[in-house]
């Protein structure tokens, strides 16, 4: 049994034992619970439960009954149908959640103290960063893309694309360097949808700063990512007064900055 195939099936949404049983049945074609379970390295009871579950999902067929029951592998193309059904279910749940959000928001309790969160590791940092896509107003960003854009290029590109789709505007103060110019050209040149919601201005610096990353200020939140050889962390501060304080500072810097040429 291919460990790589098993892992890929798990990535598609099957649980570990489900992937083992499914692959074992693909190899056997038609077999009893005992034969399938043995090849998958599982006991008969576990194998039976998983086969029944997979049959309900349309990935496994059945013939006979009782001790004579055999299971038949359905064509791998059924996996696509299975995933499409999961997609439709998720879309329905997202739609239901959108309707529920106002009511949930009305009972959400907060206090005046800032709420501070931290995230470490690439995946957790990206998850926190995508909070900017929840912005109701404009986003104010300060970027030092040197030693940052190279590592989080895919994340930034997705954010720009999705933000344009949602119509979320962003003002960007970017440290002017070769990396920043390259990334701006790559992301916004000849892309009117992104240009429409994004305005860049350059910050001229006399020296290179060691800290790479960005800070995003919007609504009542501040989300920052720091990326350097010594630090790789994201933080979020939820405080209306702090966010407004930084917006004032941002606007002062914005007026004094150089328009993108």
Q: Given CA atoms 166, 172, 175, 181 in this order, what sign does their dihedral have?
A: positive
Residue 260 is encoded by which pair of tokens?
């993108």
Hey, what CATH class is 3-75 in? mainly alpha
Ranges for all domains in the chain classified under CATH 1.10.10.10 = 3-75
Q: Quick one: pLDDT at residue 244?
A: 94
Q: Quick one: pLDDT at residue 1?
A: 62
Question: 166 or 231, which is more confident?
Answer: 166
Ranges for all domains in the chain classified under CATH 3.30.870.10 = 115-259
Q: Quick one: pLDDT at residue 259?
A: 65
Q: How far apart are CA 66 and CA 69, in angstroms?
A: 5
Q: How many CB atoms lie within 10 A of CB 194?
A: 18
For residue 27, the SS3 value is: helix
Convert the pLDDT of each residue in 191-236 to its tens digit: 999 999 999 998 887 566 566 789 999 999 999 998 865 677 899 9
Residue 57 has pLDDT above 90, yes or no: no
Residue 87 has pLDDT above 80, yes or no: yes
Q: How far apart are CA 49 and CA 185, in angstroms?
A: 55
Q: Quick one: pLDDT at residue 208?
A: 60
Residue 201: DSSP 8-state: E
Q: Quick one: pLDDT at residue 132?
A: 95
Out of 3.40.50.2000, 3.75.10.20, 3.30.870.10, 1.10.10.10, the CATH code matching 115-259 is 3.30.870.10
Q: Quick one: pLDDT at residue 169?
A: 96
Nearest to 90 by CA among 172, 13, 174: 13
Convert the pLDDT of each residue in 10-52 to its tens digit: 888 888 999 899 899 888 888 899 999 999 899 999 999 999 8
Q: What whole-number percentage of the chain has pLDDT above 90?
A: 41
């Amino acid at each position: 049994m291919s460990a790589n195939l098993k892992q890929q099936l798990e990535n598609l949404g099957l649980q570990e034992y489900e992937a083992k049983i499914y692959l074992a049945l693909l190899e056997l074609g038609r077999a009893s619970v005992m034969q399938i379970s043995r090849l998958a390295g599982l006991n008969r009871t576990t194998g039976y439960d998983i086969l029944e579950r997979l049959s309900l999902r349309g990935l496994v067929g059945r013939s006979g009954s009782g001790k004579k029951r055999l299971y038949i592998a359905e064509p791998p193309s059924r996996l696509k149908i299975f995933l499409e059904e999961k997609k439709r279910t998720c879309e329905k749940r997202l739609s239901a959640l959108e309707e529920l959000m106002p009511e949930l928001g009305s009972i959400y309790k907060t206090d005046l103290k800032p709420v501070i969160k931290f995230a470490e590791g690439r995946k957790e940092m990206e998850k926190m960063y995508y909070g900017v896509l929840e912005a109701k107003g404009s986003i104010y960003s300060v970027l030092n893309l040197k030693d940052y854009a190279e590592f989080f290029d895919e994340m930034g590109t997705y954010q720009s694309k999705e933000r344009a789709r949602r119509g979320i505007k962003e003002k960007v103060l970017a440290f002017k360097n070769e990396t920043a110019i390259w990334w701006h050209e790559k992301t916004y040149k000849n892309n009117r949808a992104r240009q429409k919601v994004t305005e860049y201005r350059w910050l001229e610096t006399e020296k290179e700063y060691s800290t790479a990353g960005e800070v995003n200020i919007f609504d009542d939140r501040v989300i920052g990512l720091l990326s350097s050889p010594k630090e790789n962390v994201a933080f979020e501060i939820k405080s209306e007064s702090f966010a407004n304080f930084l917006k004032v500072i941002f606007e002062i810097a914005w007026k004094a900055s150089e328009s993108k040429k």
